[in-house]
Amino acid sequence: MELTPGALHGLRVIDLTTVIMGPFATATLADMGADVIKVESLDGDMSRDIGSRRHDGMSALTLNLQRNKRSIAIDLASEEGREILDDLVRNADVLVTNLRPRSRQKLGITYERLSENNPGLILCTAQAYGSETVFRDYPAYDDIVQAASGAAKLTELIDGEPRYAPYVIADKVVGLYIVIAVLAAAMEKNHTGLGQEVDVPMVDAMIGFNLVEHFGGHTFAPAEGNFGWARVLTPERVPHQTADGWICIMPYSAKNWNDFFTVAGCGDLVNNPRYASVNDRHTHMGELLSAIREAVPSRTTQEWLTMCEAHGIPASDLLDLAHAHENPYVLDQELITKREHPTEGEYYATRTPFAMSRTPISFSRHAPLLGEDTFTILEELGYSADRVHALADTSVVRATSPQGTSS
């Protein structure tokens, strides 16, 4: 079956990012049809060798974060390598990089220089702090950003102990901001033909993200109430243990709460004026969740799910992500599908989780080996076969065949 071109068909993106944040963003663009060229060092993106893998350079992270992309491996420390990057950028719409400003400057990756040869270029930079600040070259990974953006300290309001989220939330949230920023700049380019410089600092993005619900009374000057959204900052906000497992039950409306308390046999809490308004319930959420905790051990998880469904009360059992590929909903939505990689064998592939009726999200190619597309990409730029071989022989580029042999 012929693939329908994606919504971003015709958009060429140079992906000069590493690890998770940038590759996650560019994989999302690739899923929507952009031609994403992954520019790697001769050793490859470090994430190629992080975690589980069957062969060196093809980790589990790589299989999903580099899907739908083409890989070219270049020694950007060499003058010839930087010339190749210039040629790539000259024919591109977008360059995304998470190199810090000092490193970008050293490689000549500045908007002023690149836009001279390509006025339509969108240069999207993303590092820990704003490119124009005194902190611009500070190194930072997800834990640092969680700390610097206030995310790690929010749990201190719950139980007195700051901690990090058990996933790289900053990398993934900022990755989505990168996608939004690139799409906005591409939309504007459609009207003017001009590119622009876009900076997506991780700490900036996460401070705004964290304050959406938590700024609360501190939104006003002077403050008109407490900082933090009480509903989510209570120690009782945890899954509850049933007779045979765990469940999340989250009554929200007054009717939800009254129906739950009626079924649970908590008559004294039905129509209790202490919890009359939504603001009252958020303020006293710890008490309400404690009441749920005391009630749910009397029934099984499925019994509670059936009861909640009958009364329109939001509820869910707990998905074990290690077995997500066996979950009926995940399978029905094709959120995870089994695929066959040419060199890595069978694996589970995730997808960008939204649907588009005319330009659907598609899977067009497996994650490439390091430098698998070097020859093809350089030939597209007008390089002769002899010149490409010479570049490979002098280690300016690395080319790998789809079967895994290098030159």
Q: What is the 3-state secondary structure (H, E, C) of 245-276?
A: CEEEECCCCHHHHHHHHHHHCCHHHCCCHHHC
Q: What was the pLDDT predicted at 302?
A: 98
Quote the CA–CA distance of 391 and 397 in Å, as a whole number.
6
The helix (H) or strand (E) run that includes residue 202 is helix 202-214
pLDDT in tens, 304-331: 999 999 999 999 999 999 999 999 999 9
**Residue 261 scores a pLDDT above 60:** yes
Give just the sign of the alpha carbon dihedral 57, 61, 64, 66: negative
Q: What was the pLDDT predicted at 5?
A: 87
Specify the domain boundaries for CATH 3.40.50.10540 within the chain. 12-209+331-398
**Residue 130 scores a pLDDT above 50:** yes
pLDDT in tens, 3-58: 678 999 999 999 999 999 999 999 999 999 999 999 999 999 999 999 999 999 99
pLDDT in tens, 154-178: 999 999 999 999 999 999 999 999 9
Cα→Cα distances 113→109, 116, 132, 245, 332, Å? 7, 6, 17, 60, 49
Q: What was the pLDDT predicted at 227?
A: 95
For residues 367-380, average pLDDT: 97
Mean pLDDT (the chain, rounded): 95
**Residue 185 scores a pLDDT above 50:** yes
- Give the HSE-up count for residue 291: Cα atoms under 13 Å, Cβ half-sphere: 22
**Residue 407 scores a pLDDT above 70:** no
**Residue 217 scores a pLDDT above 60:** yes
For residues 251-279, average pLDDT: 93
Neighbours of 343 (CB within 10 A): 15
Q: What was the pLDDT predicted at 2?
A: 54
Q: How confident is the model at residue 257 (pLDDT cuts 50, 70, 90)?
A: very high
Q: What was the pLDDT predicted at 4?
A: 76
Q: pTM score, two decimals?
A: 0.94
For residues 381-398, average pLDDT: 97
Q: What was the pLDDT predicted at 1?
A: 42
For residues 239-261, average pLDDT: 96
Report whether CATH 3.40.50.720 matches the domain 12-209+331-398: no
Q: What was the pLDDT predicted at 403?
A: 63
Listed as own residue / partner, the contacts of 186-190 with beta carbons closer than 8 Å and 24 or more positions apart are: 186/8, 186/11, 186/93, 186/94, 186/122, 189/93, 189/120, 189/122
> CA angle 356-361-366, nearest 5°?
175
pLDDT in tens, 190-216: 999 999 999 999 999 999 999 999 999
